Amino acid sequence: MSFINYSSREINCKIVYYGPGLCGKTTNLQYVYNKTSPDAKGKMISLATETERTLFFDFLPLSLGEIRGFKTRFHLYTVPGQVFYDASRKLILKGVDGVVFVADSQIERMEANLESVENLRINLGEQGYDLDRVPYVVQYNKRDLPNAASLDHLRRELNPRGVPDFEATATTGVGVFDTLKMVAKLVLQELRRGSEAPTAAAPSMPPRRGPVG
């Protein structure tokens, strides 16, 4: 659920990176963090176990620039992938505006990928969201590994609906920003759609009240 603040002239949106354990969600955020200039990012927070497995979430606030005088900020979150952290995953999905599904391309992780997509669909459903309607991008990560499944195979299994998808190697950054830009774009487009006045029937309210700027 996006948050528009007329006073600070900011818009905040929430993007969640979802996927099975060890698929590379945290690595995606780390790469974005490392490649973003200091003035465009806040601190990256990782609530992790001693072995660097995500325990609750990673969080990275990013500013993308201005649209129509509003600063656009994206809050990126990752979820813990392991099956037993399901309760935490549900919490993190609250108020989400866009989802990136990070798949592990390794052929032996196919079942874990499928299980995770299914879990995403259920958990979104519990929040009243429909995976088929949420801004949604799929990333096939770990393309550099020799045991990676073919792109065709991954697409067939994980992206039957044909949403925007990208091949990636998060450790070196391949595909990381393409993925992020696409989901951000879909979120902004959704925002526009969601804020269109229904029709001529209802007069649209002038948004600006009181002194602005």
Partner 1 sequence: MSQQTVLYEAEYELIKKICDRLVREANAKVVFLVDKNGQLIASSGETAHLDTTSLASLTAGNIAATGGIAKLINEKEFSQIFHEGERDNLHISIIGQRVILVVIFDQRSSLGLVRLRVRKASEELNQVFNVISQKAELPGASPFAEISDDDIDSLFSS
Ligand X SMILES: Nc1nc2c(ncn2[C@@H]2O[C@H](COP(=O)(O)OP(=O)(O)O)[C@@H](O)[C@H]2O)c(=O)[nH]1
Per DSSP, which regions of the chain are E strands?
Answer: 3-5, 10-18, 45-48, 54-67, 70-78, 98-104, 136-141, 165-167
CB of 49 to ligand X, least distance (A): 11
Residue whose C-alpha is closest to residue 144's, from 175, 181, 182: 175
Nearest to Mg ion of 56, 129 (CB atom)? 56
Nearest to ligand X of 39, 52 (CB atom)? 52
Neighbours of 115 (CB within 10 A): 12
Q: Could you say which of ligand X, partner 1, Mg ion, none residue 89 binds, taking C-beta under 5 to 8 angstroms by partner kind?
A: none
When asked if residue 26 is in the footprint of Mg ion (CB under 5 A), the reply is yes
**H helical segments located in 46-175:** 86-93, 110-126, 151-158
Q: Are 158 and 103 in contact (CB under 8 A)?
A: yes
When asked if residue 54 is in the footprint of Mg ion (CB under 5 A), the reply is yes
When asked if residue 169 is in the footprint of Mg ion (CB under 5 A), the reply is no
Q: What's the CA dihedral at 209, 211, 212, 213 to 10 degrees? A: -170
Q: Could you say which of ligand X, Mg ion, partner 1, none residue 181 binds, taking C-beta under 5 to 8 angstroms by partner kind?
A: partner 1
Q: Could you say which of Mg ion, partner 1, ligand X, none residue 175 binds, taking C-beta under 5 to 8 angstroms by partner kind?
A: none
Q: Could you say which of ligand X, Mg ion, partner 1, none residue 141 binds, taking C-beta under 5 to 8 angstroms by partner kind?
A: ligand X
Q: Which residues contact 57 (CB under 8 A, 6 or more apart)?
A: 47, 77, 78, 79, 80, 88, 92
User: Using CB under 6 A as the criterion, which residues of the chain lie in contact with ligand X when the complex forms?
Assistant: 19, 21-27, 54, 78, 81, 141-142, 144-145, 169-171
Neighbours of 152 (CB within 10 A): 8
Q: Are 74 and 62 in contact (CB under 8 A)?
A: yes
Nearest to ligand X of 99, 188 (CB atom)? 99
Q: Which stretch binds Mg ion (CB under 5 A): 37-45, 46-54, 150-158, 175-183?
A: 46-54
Q: Could you say which of partner 1, ligand X, Mg ion, none residue 27 binds, taking C-beta under 5 to 8 angstroms by partner kind?
A: ligand X
Binding site for Mg ion (CB under 5 A): 25-26, 54
